[in-house]
Structure 1
Amino acid sequence: MNQPLLSRKIGLLQATAINMTDMVGIGPFIVLSIVAKLMNGPGFLYAWIAGAVLSLIDAMVWSELGATFPKAGGSYNFLKEGFGPRTGRLMSFLFVWQTMIQAPLVIASAAIGFSHYTEYLIPMNEFGKKAVSGCVVLLIVLLLYRRIETIGKISVLLWMGVLATMAWIIGSGLAHGNFLAPVKHMNDGLELNYAFGAALGVASVKTIYSYLGYYNVCHLGGEISRPAVNIPRSMLISIAGITVLYLCMNISVASVLPMSQITESKFVISEYIETLAGPIAANIITVMVLWVAFASVFSATLGYSRVPYAAAQDGAFFSIFAKLHPTKNFPHVSLLVLGGIAFIFSLLLKLQHVIDAILAMRILVQFMAQAVGLILLSRRVGRSTLQWRMPLYPIPVILALIMWGAIFVSTGPVLMATGTSFALLGVIVYFAKEAVRKRSELG
């Protein structure tokens, strides 16, 4: 019996929808207040601009690799191809190694954020919040247990809800009549010194978390139609659109609520709409924010479920993850395992710890290593072999490495050590696995 294959049924519209729904999760609604508090004033907009700049620069790296190697698993393939036959096997293994923890952390963070924001509507104790976050993960897995064509349609529907939510938030700020005031005053009291740089670095850790997902289409490379065109376009469109939405949302809120309320609020968007339109409207916008959070978990889980599948198909991970559903043609084992781990994390972890841990774990093995891999690949096979080429190469790649390095340092010594230690443990596991494999081949 022939093994079923992935189908290229996702076009530019669906790919952009998947990216944007992943990007606009619960993150921007929760970290808005945190970023404003860290920046201590109207200059908090600079942290959102910094996140957009890094996302755009890094997306050029993803675009070159994604267009050239449009396969399921994204970074797994990029690292393997970039670092070459020997080192590439190690780097791609490390990516899958960290994905088995990091991907469930991403899924759990959105589910936990969903449960926290639900408190605006229904006050809950700790048990109630854990029950909600766990149920969100289970429902997502249930919805994803179907054909990719149906997934694409669901993604567009969820995306429409995301756009409607952002349109209401931004439109309310524009109608209020004081929209540009935060922009006019964003430099008030601003001093370009070490304190500002340090605050911008820490705040950018939070804003970058809100932009993550612009590359989700790369994990679905084997299911994207016309990948050399649609993968880069979907990422660049997503980042441009989300940057405008994030900046307008932050400006809208700051044009209505005093900074003292923004920095202390747990439900800043709901309070913002309540100030303008009353409690009923606030409840409605809260439901819409929860829709956005749910859409983000859906999109992130979809993309990550393809990573262990790609590694297993390549013989670099447990073979059971290579199985596709016999009739629906999606990697159901990978989906169920990642969903199960995410379910456990959603019951055990706190949101603030999860946000910082996600970045600390990914920067070294994925973002920075991928940029280095692109440089090595370009030297080895030549730039002409790439299906999409960034302008001004290698300047964007070097900038990406510098900026990711700064973000890594800003996560703090504990998380830096944790991320590095987990990567080193992966190296040990890899060489132990290789030793066992070689002994079995000789025996």
Structure 2
Amino acid sequence: MMDETDLRQRTKTRNGSEVHSMDCKIKPNEEAIKVTMLKKEVGLISGTCLIVGTMIGSGIFISPKAVLEGTGAVGSCLCVWAACGVLATLGALCYAELGTMITKSGGEYPYLMEGFGPVLAYLFSWTTIFVLKPSSFAIIALSCAEYASAPFYPGCTPPEIISKCLAAAVVLLIVLVNCLSVKLASYVQNFLTAAKLLIIIIIVVSGIVMLAQGNTQNLQDPFKGATTSFGAIGLAFYNGLWAYDGWNQLNFITEELKNPYQNLPLAIVIGIPLVSVCYVLVNVAYFSVITPTELLQSPAVAVTYGDRVLYPLSWVVPLFVVFSTIGAANGTCFTGGRLTYVAGREGHIVKILSYISPKYYTPSPALIFNGILSIFYIIPAEISSLINYFSFAQWVFYGLTALALIVMRFTRPELERPVKVPIIVPAVVVIVSCYLVLAPIIDKPELEYLYCTVFILGGLMFYYPFVYRKFSWTRRVMRPITMHLQLLMEVVPPKSA
């Protein structure tokens, strides 16, 4: 499975002549090294837009209903949204230290590798590549499809086949853009981030106007009916944190970030507080015209809000929500491809997924693989169950990554730390992660948590023969497959300067 060959051996063409596979158009030495490296093309603005654009996606337009269900009251709901923002900020500060200490792409992967060794890093890449990233991509694409099709089916739910076909088309389009150019993907992300901030501003300003006109009845006695269930509050945090997910996205592309020691922490400090304030204000705006009961019954909260407040221009809400979800999907695809690329480069998955297009400077095999898995998740998907499944597994690794930061304070004191957070910060993240993982299981055990755990640990069955032992027969099987895929996609092995 783990093929070590870079496929530079001579292969015969149909006319019998010999060529070096994928080397025939590449000059040797310096140019060959140049064309097989990912470029540093992401600056501070693009990095901030990646964080903001990935965080503000479908969550703020879907999760308000689920958060309210878990808390039972408007006041508790707003407190959960604010607490999620604080937790996301604490987690991001931990990642700022890790990202400036270990300047490798791949998000949690290199940090778990340095902190705990290759087994945990492999289990993270196994789970994230095959479940977390593609399921997240699928969730956002499905959300985009629901909002895009909603105006064409007023008063009823769009047919499921329409939503799923639109979602698959969104995945294919985004994968194509990311395969063609890093700059193009960054420009698209910047534009869509500006669009989503515009609709957020429209919702917030109109909500302030409604409150100024006296529409405060839903905010009176805000904690009436609040739940005290240990597990229900945990699920409310799950759905709130799903809306905040993306605060760690810049760590997946550290190798492509200009001046990461400065721009990584700056983008985090600018992006996450901005999103946190926007989320709380958007929820206040929702409650200015929508009662808690109506919010729970609404299939698309933002569309319901637009119909009541922005008519006859209410059509702008689903349009900009579509822009928002496409931007989040683009950011998820961009970073998910980098994790797959790094895992392939380290030999934890097939080597072909670490190859780079010498024409476009993008890890196109990794991006295409991520897109194919996402489409498979779209076929049977149901959004709320996917969010719970995603959050359970994701917070296991968030907690382990914060724990790795604490461990490396003692095991790797020699590493330079341009950003250094108080040790209480990762400790809080570890404790909260344990709560978010255990609370729903203790309160309401469900089989999906068991399936997730079995899947994570099941990766060990592949680790031993294919990664640890590197059985020779896997190389013999993968060598011709890798060669043909390399020729088909016109990609080459990555190089280090």
Confirm or deny a common fold (TM above 0.5). yes
From 117, 120, 126, give the equivalent of 1:97. Answer: 126
1:189–1:82 CA distance, 2 compared to 1 (3 A)? same
Q: Distance in 2 between matches of 1:274 and 1:434?
A: 55
Q: Distance in 2 between matches of 1:210 and 1:9?
A: 27
Aligned to 1:425: 458
Please state how far the C-alpha of 1:326 moved relative to its aligned partner: 1.1
Q: Distance in 1 between matches of 2:419 and 2:217?
A: 38
Q: Distance in 2 between matches of 1:396 and 1:9?
A: 31
Identity %: 21
Q: Distance in 2 between matches of 1:368 and 1:179?
A: 44
Counterpart of 1:222, as a letter, is: E
| Kept after mapping to 1: 8 A contact 2:253/2:338 | yes
Does the residue aligned with 1:105 lie in a helix, a strand or coil?
Answer: helix
Q: What does 1:259-270 align with in structure 2 at a 5 Å threshold?
A: 259-270=292-303
1:324–1:175 CA distance, 2 compared to 1 (3 A)? same
Aligned to 1:151: 185
Aligned to 1:378: 409
Please state how far the C-alpha of 1:217 moved relative to its aligned partner: 0.7
Counterpart of 2:141, as a letter, is: A
Q: Distance in 2 between matches of 1:401 and 1:202?
A: 18
Q: Distance in 2 between matches of 1:373 and 1:199?
A: 29
Q: Distance in 2 between matches of 1:64 and 1:137?
A: 33
Q: Deviations over 1:370-417 (max 9, x none)?
A: 112111211012176222111xx2211111011111111244333332
Is residue 368 of structure 2 the alignment partner of residue 336 of structure 1?
A: yes
Is residue 45 of structure 2 the alignment partner of residue 13 of structure 1?
A: yes
Is residue 430 of structure 2 the alignment partner of residue 395 of structure 1?
A: no
1:13–1:434 CA distance, 2 compared to 1 (3 A)? closer
Q: Deviations over 1:254-294 (max 9, x none)?
A: 0122222112111211111211232x322221111111011
Q: Distance in 2 between matches of 1:178 and 1:410?
A: 41
Please state how far the C-alpha of 1:428 moved relative to its aligned partner: 2.9
From 103, 109, 130, give the equivalent of 2:139. Answer: 109
Is residue 212 of structure 2 the alignment partner of residue 141 of structure 1?
A: no
From 96, 121, 130, give the equivalent of 2:164. Answer: 130
| Kept after mapping to 1: 8 A contact 2:218/2:291 | no
Please state how far the C-alpha of 1:159 moved relative to its aligned partner: 0.8
Please state how far the C-alpha of 1:74 moved relative to its aligned partner: 2.0
| Kept after mapping to 2: 8 A contact 1:45/1:186 | no
Counterpart of 2:128, as a letter, is: T
Aligned to 1:223: 256
TM-score, scaled to structure 2? 0.82
Aligned to 2:224: 189
Aligned to 1:368: 399
Aligned to 1:282: 314
| Kept after mapping to 1: 8 A contact 2:51/2:250 | yes
Please state how far the C-alpha of 1:155 moved relative to its aligned partner: 1.4
1:25–1:224 CA distance, 2 compared to 1 (3 A)? same
Does the residue aligned with 1:317 lie in a helix, a strand or coil?
Answer: coil
Aligned to 2:480: none
Please state how far the C-alpha of 1:134 moved relative to its aligned partner: 0.9
| Kept after mapping to 2: 8 A contact 1:368/1:401 | yes
Please state how far the C-alpha of 1:39 moved relative to its aligned partner: 1.8
| Kept after mapping to 1: 8 A contact 2:465/2:471 | no
Please state how far the C-alpha of 1:184 moved relative to its aligned partner: 5.8
Aligned to 1:294: 326
Does the residue aligned with 1:281 lie in a helix, a strand or coil?
Answer: coil
Q: Deviations over 1:22-46 (max 9, x none)?
A: 1111111011122223322212111
Counterpart of 1:16, as a letter, is: T
From 38, 59, 63, give the equivalent of 1:31. Answer: 63
Counterpart of 2:438, as a letter, is: V
Aligned to 2:282: 249
Is residue 261 of structure 2 the alignment partner of residue 232 of structure 1?
A: no
Q: Distance in 2 between matches of 1:119 and 1:434?
A: 45
| Kept after mapping to 1: 8 A contact 2:109/2:121 | yes
Q: Distance in 2 between matches of 1:356 and 1:186?
A: 30
Runs of 5+ unmatched residues, structure 1: none
From 235, 243, 246, give the equivalent of 1:210. Answer: 243
Aligned residues: 431
Counterpart of 2:38, as a letter, is: L
Aligned to 1:312: 344
Q: Distance in 2 between matches of 1:157 and 1:375?
A: 38
| Kept after mapping to 1: 8 A contact 2:348/2:467 | no
Please state how far the C-alpha of 1:437 moved relative to its aligned partner: 1.8
| Kept after mapping to 2: 8 A contact 1:131/1:347 | no
1:51–1:182 CA distance, 2 compared to 1 (3 A)? farther
Please state how far the C-alpha of 1:102 moved relative to its aligned partner: 1.4
Aligned to 2:491: none
| Kept after mapping to 1: 8 A contact 2:178/2:362 | no
| Kept after mapping to 2: 8 A contact 1:178/1:255 | no
How well do the aligned residues superpose, as a CA RMSD in angstroms?
2.1
1:291–1:398 CA distance, 2 compared to 1 (3 A)? same
Q: Which has the larger radius of gyration?
A: 2
Q: Deviations over 1:66-94 (max 9, x none)?
A: 111222212111111122xxxx1111111
Moved more, 428-437 or 105-114: 428-437
TM-score, scaled to structure 1? 0.92
Please state how far the C-alpha of 1:194 moved relative to its aligned partner: 3.8
